[in-house]
Amino acid sequence: MAVRKVPSRWRPAWPDSARRRSSDASRVEAFVVRCRHAIDIEKRAGRRFDSTSMSISLSSE
């Protein structure tokens, strides 16, 4: 996904908020990777993956 260059006057003056946002994104990414890995293990074990348990763990995260 290409990010459009935003004029500096529109850019927020707080660099730490951008840093926090990027760390949030990486945390979510790691969580998604963990979920995918768990789904792969479940499929390999021949069990049906329960999507409700995933949504519960997502909301508690």
Task: Give the domain range for residue 54.
Answer: 24-60
Residue 53 lies in a domain: yes
Residue 44 lies in a domain: yes
Residue 17 lies in a domain: no
Instruction: Taking the CA atoms of 10, 13, 15 and 21 in sequence, report the sign of the dihedral they define.
Output: negative
Instruction: Evaluate if residue 21 carries a pLDDT over 70.
Output: yes
* Most confident of the ranges 11-15, 38-42, 55-59: 38-42
Average pLDDT over residues 55-61: 54
Residue 31 lies in a domain: yes
Average pLDDT, the chain: 68
Residue 10 lies in a domain: no
Residue closest to 53 by CA, chosen among 17, 61, 45: 61
Residue 7 lies in a domain: no
Residue 1 lies in a domain: no
Residue 16 lies in a domain: no
Instruction: Evaluate if residue 14 carries a pLDDT over 60.
Output: no
The number of folded domains in the chain is 1
